[in-house]
């Protein structure tokens, strides 16, 4: 499946998003213990200390990796993440995502605007129509990442060169399943915090597929002025998809996406994407104080560095 099926706080088609944190039972009802409550407690003390040092103390970010009933959508059957995969993803996320923003914008930026909670789930989550969910975001506070157990931590694959990543690739593409989603959702937080130029909404006005974006293939989306099928749903998602796609792809891959927006002498699709990208770059520079190209350079460099990291040990 090429379209990026994400449940997010701004887009409700086929999604179930909570805008806050809800409890599974009232205060006067006893909570049922999770059948997975003790699965990851063994040998986790060192990792918990590592999380406190690298996430909680410096950034006030909490990683939920033990299965918790009240943090999981009970409509879906999912399983806990493997400890070894949890450690690997936490190390990669710190290096590629948190440290990249800190290097470009500064630690205060992450401290102020990052989601407070990241939850790791071992298996995928499937919608009633069979579509697989990449990740969920709840009110800018919490991001849940799925398929953590599908990672091959001895054979990490981060595809930054394919214009239209293969969602079925083995080993799984870390950009497609994790890092693209994180950049996408983070852009939504920034959109909420400081208004983006409404000019963006006018570039592709009248071309959005509010009710049938799922039928827009990624490879065909550029002809209509969108970088992915998911981007064709509405303007806010369009902006987040351009942002996430741009910073996780090489210039060569980005150019291939733009070329896909051309049909003979007709460059309407390409020109729409380019115009929207320029608006985003201006927004990031004027509202947030950093160059988007600088962030992409750092993200790509750090993505390459991860391939040489020891993901089985804590440091």
- Asked if residue 169 is part of any domain, the answer here is yes
- Asked if residue 312 is part of any domain, the answer here is no
- Asked if residue 205 is part of any domain, the answer here is yes
- Asked if residue 2 is part of any domain, the answer here is no
Check whether 37 has a pLDDT greater than 70.
no
> What pLDDT score was predicted for residue 127?
67
* Residues 47-57: tens digit of each pLDDT: 999 999 999 99
> What pLDDT score was predicted for residue 67?
72
pLDDT band at 268 (very low <50, low <70, confident <90, very high): very high
Check whether 38 has a pLDDT greater than 50.
no
- Asked if residue 218 is part of any domain, the answer here is yes
* CATH number for 282: 3.40.390.70
Classified as helix, coil or strand, 231 is helix
* Residues 148-199: tens digit of each pLDDT: 999 999 999 999 999 999 988 999 999 999 999 999 999 999 999 999 999 9
**Distance between CA atoms of 144 and 129, rounded to whole angstroms?**
20
> What pLDDT score was predicted for residue 99?
98
What pTM value is reported for the model? 0.84
For residue 279, how many other CB atoms are within 10 A of its CB? Answer: 19
Q: Which domain holds residue 150?
A: 45-306
> What pLDDT score was predicted for residue 74?
53
> What pLDDT score was predicted for residue 230?
94
Count how many domains the chain has.
Answer: 1
Q: DSSP string of 52-118? A: IIIIIHHH--EEE-S--GGGS-TTS---PPPHHHHHHHHHHHIIIIIHHHHHHT-HHHHHHHS-SEE
- Asked if residue 201 is part of any domain, the answer here is yes
- Asked if residue 118 is part of any domain, the answer here is yes
Check whether 70 has a pLDDT greater than 70.
no
- Asked if residue 313 is part of any domain, the answer here is no
Check whether 17 has a pLDDT greater than 60.
no
**Distance between CA atoms of 182 and 169, rounded to whole angstroms?**
20
* Residues 294-313: tens digit of each pLDDT: 999 999 999 999 999 999 99
């Amino acid at each position: 499946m090429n379209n990026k099926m994400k449940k997010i706080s701004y887009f409700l088609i086929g999604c179930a998003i909570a805008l806050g944190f809800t409890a599974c039972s009232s205060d006067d009802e006893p909570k049922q213990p999770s059948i997975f409550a003790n699965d990851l407690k063994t040998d986790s003390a060192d990792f918990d200390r590592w999380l406190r040092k690298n996430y909680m103390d410096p950034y006030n970010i909490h990683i939920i990796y033990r299965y918790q009933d009240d943090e999981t959508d009970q409509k879906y059957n999912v399983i806990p993440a493997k400890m070894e995969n949890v450690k690997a993803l936490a190390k990669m996320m710190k290096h590629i995502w948190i440290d990249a923003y800190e290097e470009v914008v500064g630690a205060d930026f992450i401290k102020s605007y990052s989601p407070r909670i990241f939850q790791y789930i071992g298996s995928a989550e499937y919608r009633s129509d069979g579509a697989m969910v990449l990740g969920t975001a709840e009110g800018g506070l919490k991001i849940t990442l799925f398929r953590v157990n599908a990672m091959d931590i001895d054979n990490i694959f981060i595809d930054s060169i394919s214009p239209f990543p293969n969602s079925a690739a083995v080993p799984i593409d870390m950009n497609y399943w994790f890092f693209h989603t994180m950049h996408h959702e983070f852009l939504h937080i920034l959109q909420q915090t400081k208004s983006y130029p409404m000019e963006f909404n006018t570039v592709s006005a009248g071309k959005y597929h509010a009710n049938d974006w799922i039928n827009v293939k990624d490879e065909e989306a550029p002809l209509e002025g969108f970088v992915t099928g998911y981007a064709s749903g509405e303007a806010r998602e369009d902006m987040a998809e351009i942002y996430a796609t741009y910073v996780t792809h090489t210039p060569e891959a980005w150019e291939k996406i733009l070329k896909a927006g051309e049909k003979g002498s007709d460059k309407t699709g390409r020109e729409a994407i380019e115009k929207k990208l320029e608006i985003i770059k201006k927004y990031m520079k004027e509202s947030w104080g950093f160059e988007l190209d600088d962030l992409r350079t750092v993200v790509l460099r750090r993505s390459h560095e991860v391939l040489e990291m020891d993901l089985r040990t804590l440091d």
